[in-house]
């Protein structure tokens, strides 16, 4: 733990990181006021002119002068960025041109009215998001803001003034601003200004603003603005103290849990939670527990989504859980998260419900034990749209008919059994019918069934028969009981169905994620992964999906589903998503007019790609449950892609390491092979030089021989290496001529005369072999290598056989030895570069000879291979294509020219 007085290292690090990122960001100065008309724009312009006078590059991005002469005068002399015109529903709007500002890149830009909502078609939904982007690009911004625009104060202001302001700015923006200047005037002065007509009042809102501009309101607003500014100063003070190791006055380990529902009153709850969390310097979590008894309708889901997004904007962590017992679930979650306080809303329904079904709040409080429970008022603000009534899923008309049929069937059965059974048993039959109907068709048909059952029971089975009258009053009790039972059954059945539905949906989501993870595990490369992801998304959501990965050219390549190259618009959105790591498109706050929903695929904090999902409408994209699943899929995809990338990199590095290792071992073996003969030569030569007198002629001869042999050995090695280099560099040129194989063999044998002394050579070359097109020198080199090989591995005195023969359009030269032979399975490997027999390490050579032979064979269009030999040893065969008929010879007469009296020898070949 940190010692008291020492700053917390994590906090310090966070500060350093923040300061670093601040250094790159532009600086944001907020001109803050309690109400419109206090003079924020005016003050901002004054400050801007002062900055300009100091040499700062100032541009007015968007400044609302409201046609006031004094403000307009201040604007003169400042460069004004042209607005962007947007057509919207027949009207032309002049919006702030974000791209123009980014392109212009001034040192300081003026952006009035931070809370403004941008026209549809703009990149961001809100102007404060535009400002964020400007700051991120390193441009400093001056802007104006009223206290009622701050998110967490929005409801308080609404309470004070009775006017709900819809355009809000998240608290984080206010808090992260580098400077906040409070433009403060007293309420009287402001009212005076209003009277003098110096305050801008849009005509439509005139009446509302009359209510707004009451003195009491203005005083309250002023206090609010002052207090908020003071809080900011306090926070700065805290930061200062933390950085300098001064003890915090109230260290706290509190954590808050705010329980919300789709009810708009929850928004207020969330804001209260935020204020409390801020005051306590505590983390806070916003939780929604969906009861499986009461499934949410689509509009409820939307409202819940709105609330959850609000919570996130205000800085909370959010969670959505589904459970049977809501209270128990809340408590268990709270405990698992080490929550210290729970905030819940006051009940808005009547007390009779609590009596009947039990109060959630009650259970919560009773189960809270060590946790504090705060119950906050949840009155609905008038300005907000009323919560939609919960719409149960529509019931097909056929269900009702079926219900009626079931009841009728029960009635018929009862009629049939009338004689044998009691009337109470008939009642049971009807209850059975109700239960069946509830199980099949749900709550409302079951209610219908209950009513029908009782009616039918009364009509047919209760005296007087076939009327609705009742003779015996006790039957009324029966009816009551039956009704209650029937209704309970319907409710139970409905609840079970609801649970089943919830479980099924959960199971579907889990199954989808599981299926995805299995598909991802199978995928081998990036495109397989992309296929798996887009396939899964398509299956689960019935929405075509594409995975977009950045390619080297700075664009995007679609890896699965959809066209290979996405359109320019899609590329633009994808680029934004990739850079900011935030979702964009339908259902989000950024580029909501795009053609699809774009989610970032991230891993380890940075975005790897983009998942593009074509959704049917914005509502589906906003549904928190669906979004959660989509984001979970995107997360899995991110992990899988990163894993694939890492695997590829690891493989590359492995190969590089292996290549490196091979090179090193090669280098060391070559170095050894070159140094050894040199050492021998040097030794022998120096012995000859220095010990000349003491050496006998024989000794001298031996030394000289050593030098000669070692020099020749080196020569061979060097030749092979050079030949290899030629082969590798593609410089192996075959100069074809009609050659005699006999001659080439002869030359090779002559070259190796000394080396082959220990081995008798036997040749079998037919005399009638045709001339073969080949490069004589290359083939001779190949034969030399093969013969050397044979000599190396043959025992002394063993014969080496050299043959040449025609075989199926090829000329095959064979070199056979009685050496150890080639191990089975190695027949191909021996031709590889630098391959040396593992069994015979002491045999020298770089392992290149056979490789060169193969290269020469291939260059001629032939081949070389090795066969095992009966009786031990191997036969290497070099095959060269015949290449057609050799050119003809001139005819000559065959006169005997010999003057010798000896009988003629025929020209027949032996």
Partner 1 sequence: MTEPRPVVLLIEDEPQMRRFLRAALEPHGYHLVEAETAREGMGQAAAHNPEVVLLDLGLPDLDGLEVTRRIREWSLVPIIVLSARGQESDKVAALDAGADDYLTKPFTVPELLARMRVALRHAAQRDGGSDEPAFAVGDLQVDLALRQVSMRGEAVHLTPTEYKLLAVMVRHAGRVLTHRQLLKEVWGINAIQHPHYLRVYMGQLRQKLEREPARPEYLLTELGVGYRLRAE
Give the footprint of partner 1 on this chain (CB under 8 A): 711, 715, 737-740, 742-747, 749-750, 761, 763, 765, 767, 771, 776-777, 780, 802, 886-887, 889-890, 892-900, 902, 904-905, 907, 909-910
Q: Give least dist CB 693 to partner 1, A.
A: 19
Please state, in angstroms and rounded to a whole number, the distance separating the CA atoms of residues 277 and 280: 5
Q: Give least dist CB 905 to partner 1, A.
A: 4
Give, as one character, the DSSP assignment of residue 392.
Answer: P
The phi, psi pair for 193, rounded to 5°, reads: -60, -40
- For the chain, what percentages of helix, strand and coil (3-state, to nearest 5) are there? 50, 15, 35
Q: What residues contact 644, with CB distance under 8 A and at least 6 apart? A: 523, 525, 526, 529
Given the residues 281, 538, 580, 672, select the one marked as catalytic: 672
Q: Give least dist CB 674 to partner 1, A.
A: 17
Q: Give least dist CB 737 to partner 1, A.
A: 7
Prior bond of 464 cis (ω within 30°): yes
Let me know: does 610 contact 600? Beta carbons within 8 Å.
yes
Q: Give least dist CB 890 to partner 1, A.
A: 7
Between residues 570 and 802, which has the closer beta carbon with respect to partner 1? 802
Give, as one character, the DSSP assignment of residue 542.
Answer: S
Q: Give least dist CB 682 to partner 1, A.
A: 15
Between residues 412 and 718, which has the closer beta carbon with respect to partner 1? 718
Between residues 449 and 772, which has the closer beta carbon with respect to partner 1? 772
Between residues 634 and 779, which has the closer beta carbon with respect to partner 1? 779
CA nearest to 58, candidates 70, 71, 47 = 47
Q: What residues contact 741, with CB distance under 8 A and at least 6 apart? A: 765, 769, 772, 804, 811, 813
Between residues 336 and 909, which has the closer beta carbon with respect to partner 1? 909
Give, as one character, the DSSP assignment of residue 896.
Answer: -
Let me know: does 128 contact 595? Beta carbons within 8 Å.
no
Please state, in angstroms and rounded to a whole number, the distance separating the CA atoms of residues 369 and 372: 8
Let me know: does 546 contact 612? Beta carbons within 8 Å.
yes
State the DSSP H helix or E strand holding residue 627, giving kind and residue range, or none if neither.
helix 624-690
Q: How far is CA 279 from CA 160, 194, 232, 254, 714, in A?
A: 21, 36, 12, 11, 86
Between residues 773 and 845, which has the closer beta carbon with respect to partner 1? 773
Between residues 487 and 747, which has the closer beta carbon with respect to partner 1? 747
Please state, in angstroms and rounded to a whole number, the distance separating the CA atoms of residues 224 and 159: 12
860 belongs to the catalytic site: no
Beta bridge partners of 548: 558, 610
Between residues 408 and 771, which has the closer beta carbon with respect to partner 1? 771
Between residues 242 and 771, which has the closer beta carbon with respect to partner 1? 771
Please state, in angstroms and rounded to a whole number, the distance separating the CA atoms of residues 486 and 62: 66
Between residues 369 and 905, which has the closer beta carbon with respect to partner 1? 905
According to the 3-state scheme, what is the secondary structure of 653-697? HHHHHHHHHHHHHHHHHHHHHHHHHHHHHHHHHHHHHHCCCCCCH
Between residues 25 and 716, which has the closer beta carbon with respect to partner 1? 716
Q: What residues contact 910, with CB distance under 8 A and at least 6 apart? A: 767
Let me know: does 81 contact 101? Beta carbons within 8 Å.
yes
Between residues 542 and 893, which has the closer beta carbon with respect to partner 1? 893
Q: Give least dist CB 897 to partner 1, A.
A: 5
Q: Give least dist CB 526 to partner 1, A.
A: 50
Q: Give least dist CB 816 to partner 1, A.
A: 15
Q: Give least dist CB 548 to partner 1, A.
A: 57
State the DSSP H helix or E strand holding residue 864, giving kind and residue range, or none if neither.
strand 863-868
Residue 10's CB: how many other CB atoms inside 10 A? 9
Between residues 1 and 767, which has the closer beta carbon with respect to partner 1? 767
Let me know: does 257 contact 70? Beta carbons within 8 Å.
no
Q: What residues contact 845, with CB distance under 8 A and at least 6 apart? A: 673, 717, 720, 792, 836
DSSP characters for 402-462?
Answer: HHHHHHHHHHHHHHHHTTTS-HHHHHHHHHHHHHHHHHHH-HHHHHHHHHHHHHHIIIIIS
Q: Give least dist CB 892 to partner 1, A.
A: 5
Please state, in angstroms and rounded to a whole number, the distance separating the CA atoms of residues 450 and 488: 10
Please state, in angstroms and rounded to a whole number, the distance separating the CA atoms of residues 816 and 402: 94
Residue 385's CB: how many other CB atoms inside 10 A? 9
Please state, in angstroms and rounded to a whole number, the distance separating the CA atoms of residues 30 and 695: 102
Please state, in angstroms and rounded to a whole number, the distance separating the CA atoms of residues 339 and 255: 5
Angular region, 5: left φ>0, alpha ψ -120 to 50, beta rest: left
CA nearest to 386, candidates 265, 261, 537, 504 = 265
Q: Give least dist CB 796 to partner 1, A.
A: 20
Q: Give least dist CB 657 to partner 1, A.
A: 38
Catalytically active residues, by annotation: 672
């Amino acid at each position: 733990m940190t010692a008291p007085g020492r700053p917390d290292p994590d906090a310090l690090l966070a500060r350093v990181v923040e300061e670093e990122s601040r250094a790159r960001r532009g600086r944001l100065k907020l001109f803050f006021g309690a109400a419109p008309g206090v003079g924020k724009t005016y003050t901002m312009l004054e400050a801007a002119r002062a900055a300009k006078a100091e040499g700062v590059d100032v541009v007015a991005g968007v400044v609302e002068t409201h046609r006031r002469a004094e403000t307009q005068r201040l604007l003169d002399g400042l460069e004004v960025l042209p607005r962007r015109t947007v057509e919207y529903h027949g009207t032309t709007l002049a919006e702030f041109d974000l791209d123009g500002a980014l392109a212009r890149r001034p040192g300081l830009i003026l952006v009035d009215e931070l809370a403004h909502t941008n026209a549809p078609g703009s990149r961001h939904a809100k102007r404060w998001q535009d400002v964020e982007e400007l700051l991120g690009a390193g441009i400093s911004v001056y802007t104006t803001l009223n206290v009622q625009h701050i998110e967490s104060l929005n409801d308080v202001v609404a309470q004070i003034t009775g006017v709900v302001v819809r355009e809000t700015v998240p608290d984080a923006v206010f808090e992260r601003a580098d400077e906040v200047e409070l433009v403060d005037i007293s309420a009287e002065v402001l009212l005076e200004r209003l009277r003098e007509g110096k305050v801008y009042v849009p005509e439509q809102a005139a009446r509302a603003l009359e209510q707004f501009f009451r003195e009491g309101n203005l005083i309250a607003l002023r206090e609010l603005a002052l207090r908020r500014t003071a809080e900011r100063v306090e926070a700065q003070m805290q930061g200062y103290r933390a950085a300098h190791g001064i003890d915090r006055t109230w260290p706290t380990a509190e954590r808050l849990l705010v329980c919300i529902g789709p009810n708009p009153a929850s928004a207020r709850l969330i804001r209260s939670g935020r204020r409390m969390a801020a005051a306590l310097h505590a983390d806070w979590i916003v939780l929604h527990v969906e009861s499986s008894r009461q499934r949410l309708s689509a509009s409820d889901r939307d409202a819940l989504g709105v609330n959850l997004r609000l919570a996130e904007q205000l800085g909370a962590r959010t969670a959505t859980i589904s459970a049977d017992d809501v209270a128990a679930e809340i408590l268990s979650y709270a405990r698992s998260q080490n929550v210290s306080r729970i905030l819940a809303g006051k009940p808005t329904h009547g007390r009779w419900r609590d009596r009947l079904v039990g109060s959630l709040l009650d259970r919560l409080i009773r189960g809270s034990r060590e946790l504090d429970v705060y119950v906050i008022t949840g009155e609905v603000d008038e300005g907000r749209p009323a919560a939609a009534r919960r719409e149960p899923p529509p019931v097909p008309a056929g269900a009702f008919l079926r219900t009626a049929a079931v009841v009728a069937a029960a009635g018929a059965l009862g009629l049939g059994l009338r004689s044998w059974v009691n009337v109470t048993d008939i009642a049971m039959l009807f209850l059975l019918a109700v239960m069946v109907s509830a199980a099949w068709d749900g709550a409302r048909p079951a209610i219908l069934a209950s009513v029908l059952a009782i009616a039918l029971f009364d009509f047919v089975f209760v005296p007087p028969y076939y009327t609705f009258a009742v003779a015996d009053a006790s039957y009324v009790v029966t009816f009551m009981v039956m009704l209650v039972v029937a209704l309970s059954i319907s409710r139970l059945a409905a609840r079970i169905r609801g649970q089943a539905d919830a479980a099924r949906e959960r199971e579907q989501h889990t199954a989808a994620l599981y299926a995805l993870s299995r598909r991802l595990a199978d995928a081998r490369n990036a495109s397989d992964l992309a296929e798996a992801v887009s396939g899964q998304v398509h299956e689960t959501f019935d929405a075509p999906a594409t995975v977009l990965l950045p390619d080297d050219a700075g664009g995007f390549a679609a890896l699965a589903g959809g066209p290979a190259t996405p359109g320019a618009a899609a590329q633009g959105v994808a680029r934004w998503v990739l850079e900011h790591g935030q979702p964009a498109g339908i259902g989000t706050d950024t580029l909501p007019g795009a053609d699809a929903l774009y989610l970032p695929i991230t891993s380890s904090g940075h975005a790897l790609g983009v998942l593009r999902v074509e959704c049917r409408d914005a509502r589906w994209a906003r549904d928190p449950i669906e979004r959660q699943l989509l984001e979970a899929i995107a997360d899995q995809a991110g992990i899988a892609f990163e894993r694939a990338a890492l695997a590829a990199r690891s493989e590359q590095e492995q190969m590089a390491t292996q290549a490196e290792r091979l090179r090193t071992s090669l280098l060391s073996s070559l170095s050894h092979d070159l140094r050894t003969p040199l050492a021998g030569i040097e030794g022998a030569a120096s012995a000859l030089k220095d010990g000349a007198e003491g050496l006998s002629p024989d000794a001298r001869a031996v030394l000289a021989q050593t030098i000669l042999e070692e020099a020749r050995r080196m020569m061979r090695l060097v030749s092979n290496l050079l030949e290899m280099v030629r082969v590798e560099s593609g410089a192996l040129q075959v100069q074809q001529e009609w050659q005699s194989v006999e001659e080439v063999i002869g030359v090779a044998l002559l070259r190796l005369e000394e080396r082959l002394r220990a081995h008798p050579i036997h040749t079998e070359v037919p005399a009638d072999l045709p001339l073969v097109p080949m490069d004589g020198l290359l083939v001779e080199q190949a034969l030399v290598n093969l013969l050397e090989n044979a000599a190396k591995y043959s025992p002394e005195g063993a014969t080496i056989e050299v043959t040449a023969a025609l075989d199926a359009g090829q000329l095959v030269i064979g070199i056979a030895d009685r050496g150890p032979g080639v191990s089975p399975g190695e027949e191909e490997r021996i031709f590889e570069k630098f391959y040396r027999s593992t069994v015979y390490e002491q045999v020298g050579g770089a392992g290149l000879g056979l490789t060169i032979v193969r290269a020469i064979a291939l260059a001629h269009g032939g081949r070389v291979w090795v066969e095992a030999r009966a009786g031990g040893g191997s036969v290497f065969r070099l095959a060269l294509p015949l290449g057609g008929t050799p050119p003809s010879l001139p005819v000559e007469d065959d006169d005997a020219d010999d003057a010798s009296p000896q009988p003629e020898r025929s020209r027949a070949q032996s």
